[in-house]
A = this chain, B = another copy of it.
Amino acid sequence: MAADQEHVSRVEKRRRTEAAISDAARTQFAEVGFERTTIRSVASAAGVDPALVMQYFGSKDGLFAAVARQQKPHRRLLDATREGTPQAALDDLFEDLEDPVSRDALLALMRNCLTHEQAATVLRDDVMRHVHEAVASRIATPDAELRAALLGATLVGLSIGRYMLRIPGLAEASREDVERLLLPVLALLVEPAPQA
């Protein structure tokens, strides 16, 4: 216990407090959504005063934007996604969903994308755009855009159904089983010439 009594500099203290607020906000945005998350509940979970949250993040929307921006590490997987194969896209998604931080950051976007314009914009124009472009660029037929969009919509449906709606049969399934069934299906979606 006394081990925590180490001296921490002011900047370090500030950094830790901001991180505590940000962690609490990310979790609550992901679990109960933007509207049901209150500045007060985030501050309480982080062990600070609500006014401090305002001081550090400006507003509730600013707090959400900060959390949404944390999803950026996902883009380190951008190179892998640039492959444009369903395998790479699915791997990216599952990898994101296994790390607690990027998982909650991504779920915060998805949970609120239907009721919060900013969440929808970030999800559509920042996250999905990458896989869309990578996939579409590998398809030669004129319906490439639609095929890529359908792949994105399917991955969104998978995430929502598995982690949020918790559809029976999908929520409990192993990642391996999901991949085994979904990969050939997504491959067919992306292949320009199904008849062969």
Contacts and interface: CB of A to CB of B under 8 A. Distances in A.
Nearest to A173: B146
A178 B150 contact: yes
Given A153-B158, A154-B157, A184-B194, A146 B164 contact: no
A162 B152 CA distance: 11
A155 B157 contact: yes
Most buried by B among A33, A128, A177, A185: A185
A168 B156 contact: no
Q: How many copies does the complex hold?
A: 2
Interface residues on A, range: 35 or more
B160 A160 contact: yes
Interface stretch (A8-16, A49-57, A69-77, A110-118): A110-118
Contacts of A152: 161, 167, 170
B124 A149 contact: no
Given A35-B35, A154-B157, A170-B150, A120 B165 contact: yes
A20 interface: no
Contact of A185 (B158, B160, B189): B189
Nearest to A168: B149
A147 interface: yes
Interface of A: 32-33, 35-36, 110-115, 120, 123-124, 128, 132, 136, 143, 145-150, 152-158, 160-162, 164-170, 173, 177-178, 181-182, 184-185, 188-189, 194
